[in-house]
Structure 1
Amino acid sequence: MVATQPIVILPENVKRYVGKEAQRMNILAGRVIAETVRSTLGPKGMDKMLVDDLGDIVVTNDGVTILKEMSVEHPAAKMLIEVAKTQEKEVGDGTTTAVVIAGELLRKAEELLDQNVHPTVIIKGYHLALNKAQEILKDIAIDVNPEDKEMLKKIAMTSLTGKGAEKARDKLGEIVVDAVTTVVDENGKVDKDLIKIEKKEGASVDETELIKGVVIDKERVNPQMPKKVENAKIALLNCPIEVKETETDAKINITDPAKMIEFIEQEEKMIKDMVDQIKASGANVVFCQKGIDDLAQHYLAKAGILAVRRVKKSDMEKLAKATGANIITNIKDLTPEDLGEAGVVSEEKVAGDAMIFVRECKDPKAVTILVRGTTEHIVDEVARAIEDAIGVVACTIEDGKIVAGGGATEVELAMRLRDYADTVSGREQLAVRGFADALEVIPRTLAENAGLDAIEMMVNLRAKHANEGSAAYGLNVFTGEIENMVEKGVVEPLRVKTQAIQSAAEAAEMLLRIDDVIAAEKLEGKDKKGGSEDFGGEDTNL
């Protein structure tokens, strides 16, 4: 008998996991990620402190921030983090919900794999359940008038509850609704980039304010300039107010001292002409994206014009939207028609830094929320909460549909999906049931995080939904009672739920499809990374 030589296809430093081993490894990674953020869910969720390798600290309970800041090695875990990032980009809130549901779907899939149900059967069942869930969501959604500011405020406050901004949620809810409704375009769409969030510590969260205009973290270029300009006529320049250098390298030889004086005078005249041009247009405030020459500053100050230089491009665009000004690339083209208007432009000190406030714009299509807080970490967390609230209010205005919060929607979905499962033949029925059970992780987690008896709460919730025939009954975590969430004002945009469930299901399906993981070892090797090359098995490095 001839001894056969083993054939080596993959190089030595490559690890391979096949079949059930690969699936279990990916499922475990997904579940670990979900468990990490699960305790932050809901109004009673806890916070996480994240410290990076430079020692910078982030304290937050915002799911996507936690996952972005975590240093994750495992490829399957990274895929789940993408779910949170997509949720954040599309709707701005519900990131924790999406990841927790994905983790629970993977847990249910693992139970089915243990019963020898094939992954493709589970995937098909999940797909059927997802389509049915989207149908049910449309059916139980409640129509709202995008102009109903009271309802929009409730939606904003639901999003703000449980975050660092909770104690000032009444005021912040109003600010967010006011900001979003101001920047809605004629098609009913909201460009969230037009709401600028400027952060400054040193005051309480209650002092957060909405400026119907733009706040710029700069100061006037010259102390001789006026600090405050009323009835401002604003010029936006995308060109420097200084002598242009020649395009090519040039050398000027001056042999006569008189010529030198003439040359300097000519430069001064060019700068004076530029300032005269600005003055002639009627502008009394100038925002310049480029530099402003010292001499130009002197002439502008003499003319009583407030000028700011090196303003960011994004801020220039917001100023244009807020004041109605046109951004000019050549001072010679500046006309009175290009100027924007604002009631008052002033330089004010905030937390020891000078900032330029452009207020009282007539019809601003860009606004600024100046976020305050006692410390840097509080300001950052309040700003994150406000961003989430802006996202949900924008969704509601665009779609005009909401669903009940407090776990009510998930319990109703689970109940109806179980009924639907009875109509599905074959083993897919098990997967549909698994999907229904997985959705209940949301109300169960809300109860656990509030220190309530999760089993008792789930039994009461199911009974209420079965007997009352209403999809609005959810868990009031503050009282521990089952109440009508719509009447209580605990509501969320339909899009937050549809996107969260869809992202979670698709991520779970993608991970279940993988039956072979081929991974090259990290270049650093074992010595530096302590086992990072083996991202599977018991020692899952996350």
Structure 2
Amino acid sequence: MANQPIFILPEGTERYSKRDALRMNITAAKVLAGIVRTTLGPKGMDKMLTNSLGDVTVTNDGATIMREMEINQPAARMLVETAKKQEEIVGDGTTSVVVIAGELLAKAEELLDDGIATSVVVKGYRNATAKAVEILKNIAIDADDEETLKKVAVTAMSGKGSDYAKEHLADLVVKAALRIKEDGKSDIDNINIQRVSGDSVEDSFLAEGIIIDKAPLSKNMPKDVEDAKIAIMKYPIELKDINTDAKIDITSPDQFEMFLKQEEDMIKDLVNKVVDSGCNVLFCQKGIDDMAEHYLKKAGIMAFKRVKKSDMDRIAKATGAKLVSDIEDLSEEKLGYAGHVYLDKIFDHELTLIEECENPKASSIVLRGSTRYVTEQIARALDDALGVVAATIEEGTVLIGGGACEIDLVKQLREYGESVSGREQLAILKYAEALEVIPRTLIENAGLDTINLIADLKAAHEDSPFIGINVFDGKVVDMKDAGVIEPLRVKIQALQSAGEAAEMILRIDDMIAARNALNSTGPDESGNDASGMPPMPGAGGMGGMGGMPPMM
């Protein structure tokens, strides 16, 4: 009995503990970082992703790549969630946060192999992150003019398929963000990017108002309304569904005619409520049936159905209309106003424009491009640019890009590390070393001489904190003069998120999975798992932890 194993976990449960679990998670993080690392910077490469339906996505946007890959390995998925949060909060820096986190974990692994305790590494990293944020704030410069905002937008879009038109697109982004600026902030959810295939990216423009990807219900409805009084409703203008168990006994043609007349009167009453409010343009989030369409057309009302909630919100912001949930509440006070609402055709695409709003709090960019793939890729670049411009408007401070701020961070963190006693110093110095991954990757992706250029950068930073690498000509230059600028908030968020993700993974010393919980990422015939991660020694793939001995 003394040597009989005691099972405390259900049969089939898989477990890896201590260094095996940690090494597995660190390797997963490094593999993920390696996948997206080649996309970083103006000279970064693209990834072609194909899903199970055969849909193809070509992009170098880190968030899109990780979302489309459908990664299932738990530690790698934690980094994916970190990148998503980075995008939600500041709109850019998703690739950087994963690359930095992967490098922090790689350096932590070296420390652990040298016998440094995990708790010491975690504490050192935490202190180094706090110091790095302090350093970034000290080297940041003020940015509150339109020209600087354009440089921020251009930097964010570099290498994302829009280089030949980035100056024009940056101008659109900045104007759109400033147009909706309110109380020192720009809510980019109020900016709509409407993609229209055909013509060149340089034909993209900022609309004077809101654009809705809808045409009026009927060709016989008004297509051009001036002095528009706009209603936005969640309430459907259609007959309510009759319960499936309900029965209607009709015994004569007269009764049937009376039944149809009652239905028609009900629809008429609904339409009359719209007419009585003074509305001449109606946007409905729900359905509008054919009979209601007929009477709306007869009343001269321009009507739209099944309008997206996001569009309804933008219409409300721009026109001042109040969203009505019950048609009984519709009144003149709930209407919004626009000087001009009209249907327009761009290339072969029909769009409705809402213009001449008194105090618009929403805006639209019409993005042109030769194909759907082009407009999709550049729309992602515009999303990033809008995010960083909004962050800069709110924060009012920026950093110099091109690897300049990272090299300065490395320099100052090493000085800080030398002042710290004990083994924590080793963790801080490794943290500083890890941050070199950004300028090093920018140089590698440009196909330049990494060793010599990193050495030149470090030497140049003895004189100026603004020296970075121009990846287009391979020269070490003043990036402030070159106009390569990034928002302070994006860098701070990336460092904090990467540090937190690395700490979270380092603190895991056990992986326990229920039977088949990770089978979806088990190895295929080629030895790779479903997520594209290489197999771990003894783990049966990044997602699998088979072969576990009984827990005793």
**Normalization by structure 1: what TM-score?**
0.92
Contact 1:74/1:535 (CA < 8 Å) preserved in 2? no
Find the counterpart in structure 2 of residue 509 from structure 1.
Answer: 503
Matching residue's letter, 1:6: P
- Pick from 397, 411, 418: which aligns with 1:415? 411
Matching residue's letter, 1:169: K
1:29-428 to 2 correspondences below 5 Å: 29-145=28-144, 148-186=145-183, 188-243=184-239, 261=257, 264-350=260-346, 352-428=348-424
Residues 54-81 of structure 1: per-residue CA shift (max 9 Å, x gap): 2211111011111111132321111121
Contact 1:300/1:307 (CA < 8 Å) preserved in 2? yes
Deviates more, 1:275-284 or 1:94-103: 275-284
Give the Cα–Cα distance (whole angstroms) in 2 for the partners of residues 25 and 255 of structure 1: 75
Deviates more, 1:400-409 or 1:191-200: 191-200
Alpha-carbon shift at residue 344 of structure 1 (Å):
2.2
Secondary structure, in 3 states, of the residue corresponding to 2:171?
A: helix
Change (3 A) 1:303 1:471: same
Alignment identity in percent? 53
Change (3 A) 1:514 1:213: same
Residues 370-406 of structure 1: per-residue CA shift (max 9 Å, x gap): 2222222221111111111111011111111111110
Q: RMSD between aligned alpha carbons? A: 2.6
Contact 1:68/1:81 (CA < 8 Å) preserved in 2? yes
Contact 2:196/2:349 (CA < 8 Å) preserved in 1? no
1:483-494 to 2 correspondences below 5 Å: 483-494=477-488
Give the Cα–Cα distance (whole angstroms) in 2 for the partners of residues 60 and 506 of structure 1: 27
Secondary structure, in 3 states, of the residue corresponding to 1:22?
A: helix
Give the Cα–Cα distance (whole angstroms) in 1 for the partners of residues 521 and 303 of structure 2: 57
- Residue 463 (str. 1) matches residue 462 (str. 2): no
Alpha-carbon shift at residue 83 of structure 1 (Å):
1.8
Contact 1:165/1:385 (CA < 8 Å) preserved in 2? yes
Secondary structure, in 3 states, of the residue corresponding to 2:178?
A: helix
Find the counterpart in structure 1 of residue 546 from structure 2.
Answer: none
Give the Cα–Cα distance (whole angstroms) in 2 for the partners of residues 523 and 334 of structure 1: 52
Alpha-carbon shift at residue 447 of structure 1 (Å):
0.7
Deviates more, 1:525-534 or 1:83-92: 525-534
Alpha-carbon shift at residue 103 of structure 1 (Å):
1.0
Deviates more, 1:391-400 or 1:358-367: 358-367
Change (3 A) 1:99 1:8: same
Alpha-carbon shift at residue 100 of structure 1 (Å):
0.7
Secondary structure, in 3 states, of the residue corresponding to 1:162?
A: coil
Contact 2:79/2:501 (CA < 8 Å) preserved in 1? yes
Alpha-carbon shift at residue 189 of structure 1 (Å):
2.6
Instruction: Please list every run of 5 or more consecutive structure 2 residues that lacks an aligned counterpart in the other structure.
Output: 544-552
Question: Size of the alignment, in residue pairs?
Answer: 536
Alpha-carbon shift at residue 334 of structure 1 (Å):
3.4
Alpha-carbon shift at residue 300 of structure 1 (Å):
2.4
Alpha-carbon shift at residue 160 of structure 1 (Å):
0.6
Residues 140-173 of structure 1: per-residue CA shift (max 9 Å, x gap): 111222xx11111111111011102222111111
Matching residue's letter, 1:90: I
Contact 2:90/2:490 (CA < 8 Å) preserved in 1? yes
Residues 265-315 of structure 1: per-residue CA shift (max 9 Å, x gap): 454444444444433443321112222232332232233321111222332
Find the counterpart in structure 2 of residue 496 from structure 1.
Answer: 490
Change (3 A) 1:482 1:540: farther
Matching residue's letter, 1:480: G
Give the Cα–Cα distance (whole angstroms) in 2 for the partners of residues 400 and 312 of structure 1: 33
Alpha-carbon shift at residue 528 of structure 1 (Å):
8.3
